[in-house]
Amino acid sequence: MEARSSSVLIFFFMFLAISSAFPKNKDKYKPCKHLVLFFHDIIYNGKNAANATSAIVAAPQGSNLTILAPNSHFGNIAVFDDPITLDNNLHSKPVGRAQGMYIYDTKNTFTSWLGFSFSLNSTDYQGTINFIGADPIMIKYRDISIVGGTGDFFMHRGVATIDTDSYEGEVYFRLKVDIKFYECW
Ligand SMILES: *[C@@H]1O[C@H](CO)[C@@H](O)[C@H](O)[C@H]1NC(C)=O
Ligand SMILES: *[C@@H]1O[C@H](CO)[C@@H](O)[C@H](O)[C@H]1NC(C)=O
Ligand SMILES: *[C@@H]1O[C@H](CO)[C@@H](O)[C@H](O)[C@H]1NC(C)=O
C-alpha cells in the first residue's frame, strides 16, 4: 500500500515536471513586432572574389579555405557580410547587412551554428538585431534565438524562423528570416 501511493506521487511529480518543460500555452504569446527579411550569401570559391560575400576562415586539417570540407563541412568556419533585402531578389536595394559567422559543428549531418547581427539602415528601420543558435540546415524551418537589439530594436528579444529559400550548389544560398519579437520596448 505504502509503496503504491508513493509511486502514484512520483508519477504525479513526473507529470508536473513534463508539463512545465513543454508549455502547451506557447501559442498564446503573440509577437509584439513581426518582420520578414532575406539575406544572400555568396561563398568565395576561388574565382568569384568580386562577387563573394563570405569567406571560409577556418578549415580542418587536410582541407583548405577555398572548398568546404567533405563530411558535412565539419570544422569549417565562414565569416559573412551579406546584403539584406525585403524580398527574395539578390539584386533588390539592400536595407542593411547581415554580418557574423557560421560554424559547421556536426560530424555526420549538415548543421551549422549561427552567430550574427542584422545592421539595418533603411527609412523603416535603423538599428541592430542579434541572432544566435543552432541551424539544422536539412530541416525546412529552424528557430534561432534573437538575444537582443539596439536602435529601433532596443532591448528586443524573440525567435526567428529561418528557411533556406534557395541555393545554388555550394556558392549561393538565400535565407528567409521570419523575425518575431516577443519583447519590445
Ligand atoms: C582546395 O581543395 C580542393 C579540393 O581538395 C582542391 O580542388 C583545390 O585545388 C584546393 N585549393 C587550393 C587553393 O589549394
Ligand atoms: C545609413 O544610410 C545613410 C543614408 O544612405 C548613410 O548616410 C549612413 O552613413 C548609413 N549609416 C550606417 C551606419 O551605415
Ligand atoms: C554573383 O553570384 C550570384 C550567386 O552565384 C550570381 O547569381 C550572380 O550572377 C553573380 N554576379 C556576378 C556579377 O557574377
Compute the distance from residue 122 Cα to the ligand 2 centre, in Å. 8
Give the closest residue (by CA) to ligand 3 atom 10: 51
- With a 6 Å cutoff on the Cβ, whether 65 touches ligand 1 is no
Are 159 and 180 in contact, with CB atoms under 8 Å apart? yes
Q: How many other β-carbons are positioned within 10 Å of the β-carbon of residue 48?
A: 13
171 inside domain: yes
- With a 6 Å cutoff on the Cβ, whether 66 touches ligand 1 is yes
Instruction: Annotate 1-56 with DSSP letters as a single string.
Output: -HHHHHHHHHHHHHHHHHHHHS-GGGGG---SEEEEEEEEEEB--SS-TTT--EEE
Grid coordinates representing 120 are 539595418
The DSSP bridge pattern shows strands 126-136 and 54-58 to be unpaired
Q: Which residue, chain included where needed, has cell 530594436?
A: 153
14 inside domain: no
156 inside domain: yes
Structural domain harbouring 114: 32-183
Q: What is the pLDDT along the chain (185 residues), one digit of tens a residue?
A: 455 555 545 554 444 444 445 556 667 789 999 999 999 999 999 999 999 999 999 999 999 999 999 989 999 999 999 999 999 999 999 999 999 999 999 999 999 999 999 999 999 999 999 999 999 999 999 999 999 999 999 999 999 999 999 999 889 999 999 999 999 98
27 inside domain: no
CATH number, domain of 61, equals 2.40.480.10
What are 126-143's pLDDT values in tens digits?
Answer: 999 999 999 999 999 999
- With a 6 Å cutoff on the Cβ, whether 170 touches ligand 1 is no
